[in-house]
Chains A and B, each alone.
Chain A
Amino acid sequence: MIKIQNLTKVFKIEHEKKRTIFELLIHLFEKKSKIEKLYALKNINFEINDGDFIGIIGRNGSGKTTLLKIISKILVPTKGSVIVRGKVISFLELGVGFHEDLTAKENVYLYGALIGMTKKEIDKKFNKIIQFSNLEKFVDTRLRSFSSGMKVRLAFSTAIQTNFNILILDEILAVGDKDFQKKCYDIFNKFSKQGKTIILTSHDLDVVNKFCNKVLLLDRGKRILFDKTDKVLKKYSRI
């Protein structure tokens, strides 16, 4: 369950950002430098129930990724409250936490640990992970020689093997090939049936239409609409 109330996120953009103590001292007696406030999210309210499949849509810069990062606890809200019940796995970018100089196997263990798995869990699920990613032949290959598609497959396959309640996906599946995409969609359906919550952002409205039962439409950090998928998509096509 996710409950978000009056959520506001402000990014301060300092036009002359003081990156060093030296600069800080020099500018100490000057008038305050101009700080522009960027409202990435303005007064957002919504609630997500267990088992919901939520799509978040909106143009670039509408605050989709910021919202996902706040739900994932990577960013802290400026104002408002965010209550998240259940274990969150977020997949904000391909293969982060992966290291080029380590092998696929080493990377799975590292990434698994980063997203909160114990060694035993990873041991138990390692074969499943490799199977799902279709990378059986490359277990001991260094990631340096992997294509970006292969990295996504490996990271995604690892992420979905954790015992999560909420899965967050940010424009992820644009990279994998058709076969892998289909595999992912199948497993999303399975997760939904298990009562897991999935939140995804996408510019592909067909995907949103096919999977999501509810959609949040954002524009310049404001909530425009949060409702059943067909209603939101209808409205979105008009603006």
Chain B
Amino acid sequence: MNKYFNLIKEVTLADFKIRYKKSLLGFFWSFLKPLLMMVVLYFIFAIVLNLNTENYVLFLLLGIIIWNFFVDATIISMENIIAKRDLIMKVYFPRQVIVISSCLNSLIVLFFNLVIFFILMLVLGFSLNFNLLFFLVILIPLYLFSLGISYLLTALYVKYRDIYHIWGVFIQIGFWVTPIIYTIDKMPKQFIILYLLNPIARIIELSRDLLIRGNLFNFLNFLVVFIFAIIFYLIGKFAYKKLSIYFPEEI
């Protein structure tokens, strides 16, 4: 067990170093990306289209940060499996480590992005309260769900290389059907099913409830998300375990 944790730690750290070593802006880029996105979307929706929501900047940024984590985790997992092709063909080690460490790398970025979000909150006159702890609990199903989807995509990606592009299209659609640039109360009743079936949407709205709207922790809603996440995690892990046995031959 100790060895396994060390392996995950070392691979995660190595991935992290490699990822930011070659880029001009380095790690700074991962802060810049959600902020740039926020500025552009804020300009379009709040100023050009005159969407009136109180604290829109915060709603927007929190949505973007959570969505970006999910997208990053899945994309990096798929990219890493190919980047580590040589390793897979020549060294025996638990294959899950590649996906776990990819998702952990996105988690590191998520935490740094959240610091920016909290600073912005304080600047806008919000105070950080007890709800912050509940928010951290919500990140557990967010991580598990993302890990499960990443497992699934990666296992398929090794066999079918167009999964990467299909997923790209999926993400584009997902960005609009998930309440990122809008809040769920703006959604017409007949479309609410889209929201109910989308764990990321639920996680974003739960987080907004806690941090921005200052609502009490909705345990029932959390439980639904948690069960969703566990199911996807287990399916993903199972598929990955079954298929990763053949990675050295297929990749």
Contact = CB atoms under 8 A, between A and B. Distances in A.
Contacts of B91: 74, 90, 92, 96-97, 114-115
A75 B248 contact: yes
Nearest to B160: A21
A110 interface: yes
B6 A117 contact: yes
A114 B93 contact: yes
Interface stretch (A99-107, A126-134, A212-220): A99-107
A76 interface: yes
A27 to B, nearest CB: 13
Contacts of B163: 21
A22 B159 CA distance: 12
B196 interface: no
Contacts of B90: 74, 92-93, 96-97
**SS class of chain A's interface: helix, strand, loop or mixed?**
loop
Contacts of B166: 21
A118 B249 contact: no
A75 B89 CA distance: 9
Nearest to A73: B92
A119 B4 CA distance: 11
B119 to A, nearest CB: 31
Given A74-B90, A97-B87, A113-B10, A20 B160 contact: yes
Instruction: Bin chain B's interface residue count.
Output: 20 to 34
B17 interface: yes
A86 interface: no
A96 B3 contact: no
Contact of A119 (B6, B89, B161): B6
A21 B11 contact: no
B86 interface: yes
A74 B248 contact: yes
Given A99-B14, A102-B17, A113 B22 contact: no
Contacts of A88: 92
Contact of B87 (A72, A73, A96): A96
A93 B92 CA distance: 12
Contacts of A76: 245-246
Contacts of B241: none
Interface in A103-162: 106, 109-110, 112-119
B79 interface: no
Given A74-B92, A96-B90, 7 more contacts: A88-B92, A92-B91, A97-B91, A110-B14, A113-B9, A118-B2, A119-B6
Interface of B: 2-3, 6-7, 9-11, 14, 17-18, 21-22, 86-87, 89-93, 159-163, 166, 245-246, 248-249
30 contacts: A19-B160, A19-B162, A20-B160, A21-B163, A22-B162, A24-B160, A72-B92, A74-B91, A74-B92, A76-B246, A90-B92, A92-B91, A96-B87, A96-B90, A97-B90, A97-B91, A99-B18, A106-B17, A109-B10, A110-B14, A112-B10, A113-B6, A114-B7, A114-B10, A114-B11, A115-B93, A116-B3, A116-B7, A118-B6, A119-B9
9 closest A-B pairs by beta carbon, nearest first, are A113-B10, A20-B162, A96-B90, A113-B7, A92-B90, A73-B92, A21-B160, A110-B14, A93-B90
